[in-house]
């Protein structure tokens, strides 16, 4: 699990609730009016903006991926693939059947190798999977960003509607306060949805998209080399060369021997 996302949301919630409780009660900040305009309005605009299928795939995938995290670094992934190449070399593809692999994408590829499919079938299937996955993750990122971009505008729209109603019915200026408070809630909701939720999530998904593109391409290359019975040393060397420079080395401090 990606602890940072959860921690961040939790911290944001704590900050918000403490602020509210310091000056009043929570009920004062719950408002159907503001809720409808922010979520209804952003949802409507996003529905117009994207094809329906993008919405169905992108939103839940984005939500899920903002919270999950690959437990291994890219270098550990290379090590794991090199070990699998070692096993395949010693025990043949059959030996791979008994190995337990955590990463589902890697596991699937290894199963293909163990089952003896040919190279072009494995490549086609895994690339198709990777491309579908990346497309949906990118759609998810774009949808969260689009919501984050329009939520403040809908906050302003909600506040404007509230102010128009308030001013139109205004008889006694001294009773204006509570109405004004309610009208401002829509702006508050819009700013919170954008700045504490949607835009940070979109930024995190963008980072994960870049990582997963490297990870899955690396896994595909590794599996195809295992299928071709390449030596573990060669597999490791070629996969390391594939990594972006900054991941090529372990983070530990080198010690002169």
Site for a copy of itself in 27-46 (CB under 8 A): 28-29, 32-33, 36-37, 40-41, 43-46
Contact between 196 and 168 under an 8 Å Cβ cutoff? The reply is no
For a copy of itself, the closer of residues 174 and 241 by Cβ is: 174
Residue of the chain from 55, 101, 107, 224 that contacts a copy of itself (CB under 8 A): 55
Nearer to a copy of itself, 127 or 228 (CB): 127
Minimum distance from residue 242 beta carbon to a copy of itself (Å): 16
Rounded CA separation 233/245 (Å): 19
Of residues 75 through 114, those in contact with a copy of itself by CB under 8 A are 111-112
Q: Which stretch binds a copy of itself (CB under 8 A): 10-18, 79-87, 92-100, 213-221?
A: 10-18
d(CA 198, CA 180): 26
Binding mask 143-182 for a copy of itself (x = CB under 8 A): ---x---x--xx-xxx-xxxxxxxxxxxx-xx-xxx-xx-
Classify residue 8 as left (phi > 0), alpha (psi -120 to 50) or beta.
Answer: alpha
What residues numbered 194-253 form the site for a copy of itself, per CB under 8 A? 194-197, 199-201, 203-204, 207, 245-246, 248-249, 251
Query: d(Cα 127, Cα 132) in Å, to the nearest integer?
Result: 8
Rounded Cα distance between 232 and 235, Å, is: 5
Token output for 234: 């060669």
Residues 6+ apart with CB under 8 A from 117: none
Residue number, 86 or 117, with CB nearest to a copy of itself? 117
Distance CA 120, CA 58 (A): 29
């Amino acid at each position: 699990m990606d602890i940072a996302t959860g921690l961040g949301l939790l911290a944001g919630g704590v900050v918000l609730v403490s602020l509210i409780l310091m000056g009043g009660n929570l009920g004062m900040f719950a408002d159907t009016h503001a809720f409808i305009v922010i979520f209804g309005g952003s949802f409507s605009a996003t529905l117009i903006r994207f094809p329906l299928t993008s919405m169905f795939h992108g939103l839940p995938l984005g939500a899920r991926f903002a919270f999950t995290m690959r437990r291994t670094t890219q270098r550990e992934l290379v090590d794991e693939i090199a070990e699998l190449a070692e096993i395949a070399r010693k025990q043949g593809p059959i030996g791979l059947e008994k190995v337990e692999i955590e990463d589902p994408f890697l596991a699937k590829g290894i199963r293909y190798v163990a089952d003896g499919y040919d190279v072009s079938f494995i490549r086609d299937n895994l690339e198709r999977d990777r491309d579908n996955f990346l497309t949906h993750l990118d759609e998810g990122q774009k949808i969260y960003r689009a919501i984050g971009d329009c939520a403040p505008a809908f906050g302003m729209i909600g506040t404007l509607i509230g102010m128009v109603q308030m001013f139109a019915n205004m008889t006694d200026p001294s009773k204006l306060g509570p109405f004004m408070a309610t009208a401002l809630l829509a702006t508050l909701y819009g700013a919170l949805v954008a700045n504490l939720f949607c835009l940070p999530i979109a930024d995190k998904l963008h980072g994960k998209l870049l990582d997963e593109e490297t990870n899955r391409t690396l896994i595909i290359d590794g599996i195809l080399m295992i299928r071709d019975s390449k030596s573990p040393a060669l597999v490791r060397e070629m996969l390391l060369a594939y990594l972006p420079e900054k991941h090529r080395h372990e983070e530990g401090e080198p010690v002169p021997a």
